[in-house]
Amino acid sequence: MDNFITSLLGENLISYLLVAVAVVIFVLVFALYAVLGERKISAWIQNRVGPNRVGKFGMFQTVIDVLKLLQKEFISPGRTDKYIFNIPPFIVFTATFMGFAVIPFSSIFIGIDLNIGLFYFFAITSLGVLGLMIAGWSSNNKYSLYGAMRTVAQIVSYEIPTALAAVTVVMLVGSLSMQSIIEAQSGGIFNWYLFGGPGGFSKVILIPFMVASFLILFISTLAESNRTPFDIVEADSEIVAGVHLEYSGMKFAMFFLAEYAQMYAVSAVVVTLFLGGWQSPFGDLIPFLNSPLMQFFWAITKALFFVFVQMWLRWTLPRLRVDQLMNVCWKYLIPIAFVNLFAVGLYLVL
């Protein structure tokens, strides 16, 4: 027992803390500048300037916004359940942050390479729904409660096509480990699962099914992150701000940080499953491009591309109605995902 405590308090604990601190810093910096990036992208799409006062090109605008939120008083509206009302921001942010534990940033930098890493990611991030539900109920506001009920219906529904799309890759790899999935796509240029994965000419048969799985996963993760056109959870024109309505100051900021952190996390999962994760686009043809530093660059760049697409879609597409949102999931995504799963399983058997 003494040896166990000594080892826990020694190098292992320090290394775990260093990894956790590095990921926290990354999440916070990314969330700060993703907000700024979204404001700049929306300004570009709408042909206006956007933030441009604080710092060069407005680079420190979100930093000032956070400082402003830190100074705001914590307000709990009357007739709310104050103790429960204060818990949800921490639940939502913690659930999202814990998902980063299994996201590979390179072949050597990952919080922990679990053999059920993909399952863990979907399981732990889905706990954020619990926080949103508690927030909507404890606010004692009908619009917050509407938003909470929409959250539960939406995220629980879209977890099904998300999992089915991911399982097609898991079947091909034979592992739920995120690092194993990336390593299985190493080698040639066209070894990513979006292009059928490694193998001979027979993999061409898989390409349409894998492209369909990729699209299903990306669309479903938009709904999981409450991004347009699936942002009915906080539809401003209908329910003001949904579950966030009664929150202010840093409690509101934690919901905001969690949403942007989730955008990166789901993008990283899409990249891991279908685009080789930290693998170079050129495979092993140029060894330098697969060095640990370049692996980190590829992982970040690929994920940021999908974050940009999520922002682009927000300022391009209209919001779906609740019935349309459910129809997309139950009438289209889930049946197509089942057909894909069956086709990939048949391919493996034959």
pLDDT single digits (tens) 207-233? 899 999 999 999 999 988 888 888 887
Q: Which residues contact 320 (CB under 8 A, 6 or more apart)?
A: 229, 230, 232, 328
Q: Judge whether 55 lies within some domain.
A: no
pLDDT at 5: 52
pLDDT at 336: 94
**DSSP string covering 43-93:** HHHTTS--S-SSSGGGTTHHHHHHHHHHHSPP---TTS-HHHHTSHHHHHH
pLDDT at 144: 85
pLDDT at 10: 54
pLDDT at 200: 64
pLDDT at 11: 56
Q: Judge whether 2 lies within some domain.
A: no
Does pLDDT of 147 surpass 70? yes
Does pLDDT of 106 surpass 60? yes
Mean pLDDT to the nearest integer, 107-115: 84
Q: Judge whether 203 lies within some domain.
A: yes
Whether the CB-CB separation of 209 and 338 falls below 8 Å is answered with no
pLDDT at 305: 94
Mean pLDDT to the nearest integer, 251-267: 88
pLDDT at 50: 82
Nearest 10 degrees: Cα torsion 251, 137, 95, 9 = 80
Lowest-confidence segment of 42-56, 67-81, 92-106 by average pLDDT: 67-81
pLDDT at 227: 84
Q: Judge whether 63 lies within some domain.
A: no
pLDDT at 201: 65
Mean pLDDT to the nearest integer, 120-133: 89
Indicate the pLDDT class of residue 3, thresholds 50, 70 and 90.
low
Lowest-confidence segment of 24-33, 76-85, 143-152 by average pLDDT: 76-85
Does pLDDT of 18 surpass 90? no
Range of the domain at 142: 72-349
Phi, psi at 197, each rounded to 5°:
85, 180
**DSSP string covering 232-281:** GGG-HHHHTTGGGTT--HHHHHHHHHHHHHHHHHHHHHHHHHHS-TTS-T
pLDDT at 2: 52
139: nearest Cα among 221, 80, 59, 61: 80
Q: Judge whether 40 lies within some domain.
A: no
Specify the higher pLDDT residue, 318 or 242: 318
pLDDT at 332: 93
Specify the higher pLDDT residue, 297 or 282: 297
Q: Judge whether 154 lies within some domain.
A: yes
Q: Judge whether 272 lies within some domain.
A: yes
Q: Per the structure, how many domains does the chain have?
A: 1
Mean pLDDT to the nearest integer, 286-312: 89
Q: Mean of the per-residue pLDDT values for the chain? A: 85
pLDDT at 215: 94
Q: Judge whether 259 lies within some domain.
A: yes
pTM: 0.88
Mean pLDDT to the nearest integer, 94-123: 88
Lowest-confidence segment of 197-206, 241-250, 295-304 by average pLDDT: 197-206
